[in-house]
């Protein structure tokens, strides 16, 4: 699957329309809805795509499709590490906890 390369950026005009642009091309235009929701959706789209591109520039869709699996695996690893009684480096547990908290918006 081919996608528009480069960082996805938000643009808005004086009339309240928002669009997402990459590689000098509009890839998504948001016109309908409350202005604050349009802006939030535009930023969500750009942030999600840019995060996926950062992890796998050649196939960001693979990242998008695996996010929930990675989250569940990390959550399971953290719980097993806490309750297994086996040594897990504390910095690894902290990193897992921080990543999960960030994902959960805490």
**pLDDT tens, position by position, 53-68:** 999 999 999 999 999 9
Are 16 and 52 found together in one domain? Answer: yes
Q: Which whole number is the average pLDDT over 30-55?
A: 87
Say if 2 falls within a structural domain.
no
More confident of the two residues 24 and 98: 98
- pTM, two decimal places: 0.78
Determine contact, residues 3/56, Cβ cutoff 8 Å. no
> Are 8 and 30 spatial neighbours (Cβ–Cβ below 8 Å)?
no
Domain that holds residue 86: 64-103
Q: What's the total number of domains in the chain? A: 2
Quick one: 49 and 88 in the same domain?
no
Which position has the higher pLDDT, 94 or 24? Answer: 94
Query: Do 28 and 53 sit in the same domain of this protein?
Result: yes
Angle formed by the axes of helices 60-83 and 90-103, to 10°? 130
Average pLDDT estimate for 29-55: 87
- Indicate whether 24 pLDDT > 90: no
Query: Where are any strands of DSSP class E within 18-92?
Result: 18-22, 25-30
Considering the domain architecture, whether residues 14 and 50 belong to the same structural domain is answered as yes
The secondary element (H helix, E strand) that includes residue 11 is: strand 9-12
1 within domain boundaries: no
């Amino acid at each position: 699957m081919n996608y528009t390369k480069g960082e996805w950026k938000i643009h808005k005009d004086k009339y309240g329309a928002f669009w997402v642009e990459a590689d000098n091309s509009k890839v998504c235009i948001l016109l309908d809805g409350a202005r604050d929701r349009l802006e939030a959706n535009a930023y969500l789209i750009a942030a999600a795509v840019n995060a996926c591109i950062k992890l796998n520039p050649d196939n960001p869709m693979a990242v998008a499709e695996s996010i929930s699996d990675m989250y569940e695996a990390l959550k399971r690893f953290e719980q097993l590490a806490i309750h297994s009684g086996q040594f897990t480096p504390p910095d690894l547990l902290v990193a897992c906890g921080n990543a999960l908290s960030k994902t959960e918006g805490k």
